[in-house]
Amino acid sequence: MQPSAQRPLFKWLAAASIVTASGAAFAQAGTYPTRPVTIVVPFSAGGGVDAMARVLAEKLRTVLGQSVVIENKGGGSGMIGAQAVVKAPADGYTLLMGSAGETAVNPFVFKSRMQYAPQTDLMPISLVVKVPNVVVVNPTLPYKTVDELIAYAKANPGKVRYGTSGVGNPQHLSGELMARQANVELTHVPYRGASNQLLDVIGGNIEMTFVSLAGARQFIKDGKVRAIGITSPGKSALAPDIPAVFDSASLKGYSLENWFGLFAPKGTPAPIVARLNAAVLESLKDPTLAAKLKDLGGSPSPMSPEQFRDFIKQESAKFGRIVEEAKITPDN
């Protein structure tokens, strides 16, 4: 066969393979899921991301008609779990319940050390909740308000240690923003998850932590830690009894919120992403689920994949400015 005669055949075969692949993807989405779905939480059990992922999974089991399993893969400021999802088959059966840290902040902190690119290696499915952090301290310490904490920090440079779930995540940025805005020296102590940092606040090993309301609520109720501020822009309806750092005299206008969303590996067929997005949106419409998320300190915030992608870009730009101004590096 002459080359000129082969070209139409090659074009036909290429077109046929595209149609076949597309048809297979739609067929797969039509039956998806046929086995359990795993949601990877890139932090240890007991923290805010973990708690909300488990609540969402309960509803998704009903909506998807399959088991939804939570797998905790903590460490590396959320990057170990995120990277595991990036490397997983792009078939909709391994998902990430990601926070702002490993998806919007870490590229600015870790740069070339990153082994994945969040905006290209992860496919946004939907934002799930926005989550303000709570500033909690050991109840035996002398400061009972944010202003008293700042006064103590000014008088005792570096002696206020604050724990976070890892370098460069929104909790770390919350501490750096506080230190810069109040012109005080705070010492950062990174952990693998919220539960350990809370235990160390209770035990007196560190003075305070920034943590999601979900992770701290029971400790606050039990009087094991004292909540002195919430990082939302103004008082939060989720915790009206906790004053906003925003309103304190020493940190006027301060605010920084975290958020959690669902992601799939790059290359996941669009019909499966659409199916998952529809499942999340349907789940978040359920009043019982919404009430549980609010009780955990999260504001349900469903989005389309396109809206979520745009939201991440905006948040990345905001967090990137804080990282640059505070000169945050992996060694902070």
Q: 173: Cβ–Cβ under 8 A, 6 or more apart, which residues?
A: 105, 256, 319, 322, 323, 326, 328
Residue 70 lies in a domain: yes
Look at residue 185 in the predicted model and tell me its pLDDT. 96
Look at residue 160 in the predicted model and tell me its pLDDT. 97
Look at residue 1 in the predicted model and tell me its pLDDT. 46
Same structural domain, 249 and 177: yes
**Confidence band, pLDDT 50/70/90 cuts, at residue 204:** very high
Return the CATH number at 160: 3.40.190.10
Q: Is the confidence at residue 217, as pLDDT, over 90? A: no
**Average of per-residue pLDDT across 209-234:** 89
What's the rounded Cα separation, in Å, for the pair 87 and 74? 16
DSSP E strands, the chain: 37-41, 68-72, 94-99, 122-137, 161-164, 187-190, 208-212, 226-230, 257-265, 299-300
Q: Is the confidence at residue 13, as pLDDT, over 70? A: no
Look at residue 27 in the predicted model and tell me its pLDDT. 43
Same structural domain, 122 and 267: yes
Same structural domain, 106 and 155: no
Q: Last residue of a domain, which of 257, 282, 309?
A: 257
The dihedrals phi and psi of 196, each to the nearest 5 degrees, come to -70, -40
At 148-182, the pLDDT tens digits run 999 999 999 999 999 997 788 888 899 999 999 99
Q: Last residue of a domain, which of 224, 257, 290?
A: 257
Same structural domain, 143 and 236: yes
Look at residue 29 in the predicted model and tell me its pLDDT. 60
Same structural domain, 174 and 315: no
If one compares 175 and 11, the residue with the highest pLDDT of the two is: 175
At 259-309, the pLDDT tens digits run 999 999 999 999 999 999 999 999 999 999 999 998 888 889 999 999 999
At 35-80, the pLDDT tens digits run 999 999 998 898 889 999 999 999 999 999 999 999 999 988 889 9
Query: Of 270, 306, 280, 301, nearest to 92 (Cα)?
Result: 270
Return the CATH number at 91: 3.40.190.150
Look at residue 193 in the predicted model and tell me its pLDDT. 67
Q: Is the confidence at residue 22, as pLDDT, over 80? A: no
Same structural domain, 246 and 166: yes
What's the rounded Cα separation, in Å, for the pair 284 and 310? 20
**Average of per-residue pLDDT across 20-31:** 53
Q: Is the confidence at residue 8, as pLDDT, over 90? A: no
Residue 25 lies in a domain: no
Look at residue 28 in the predicted model and tell me its pLDDT. 53
Residue 142 lies in a domain: yes
Same structural domain, 238 and 274: no
Count structural domains, the chain.
2
Residue 7 lies in a domain: no
**Confidence band, pLDDT 50/70/90 cuts, at residue 4:** very low
Same structural domain, 85 and 226: no
> Scanning the structure block, which residue is given the tokens 């991440």?
312
Same structural domain, 159 and 248: yes
Q: Last residue of a domain, which of 257, 289, 306?
A: 257
CA dihedral sign of residues 189, 193, 197, 203: negative
At 87-131, the pLDDT tens digits run 999 999 999 999 998 999 999 999 988 999 999 999 999 999 998
Residue 83 lies in a domain: yes
If one compares 58 and 20, the residue with the highest pLDDT of the two is: 58
Same structural domain, 138 and 223: yes
Q: 230: Cβ–Cβ under 8 A, 6 or more apart, which residues?
A: 132, 133, 134, 135, 213, 236, 239, 242, 243, 244, 245
**Average of per-residue pLDDT across 236-253:** 91
Helix (H, G, I), strand (E, B) or coil at 281: helix
Query: Of 270, 277, 266, 305, nearest to 86 (Cα)?
Result: 266
Look at residue 235 in the predicted model and tell me its pLDDT. 82
Residue 229 lies in a domain: yes
CB neighbours (10 Å) of residue 233? 16
Same structural domain, 248 and 137: yes
Q: Is the confidence at residue 32, as pLDDT, over 90? A: yes
Instruction: Give the structural domain span for 71.
Output: 36-131+258-326
Residue 15 lies in a domain: no
Residue 93 lies in a domain: yes
What's the rounded Cα separation, in Å, for the pair 202 and 138? 6
Same structural domain, 140 and 204: yes
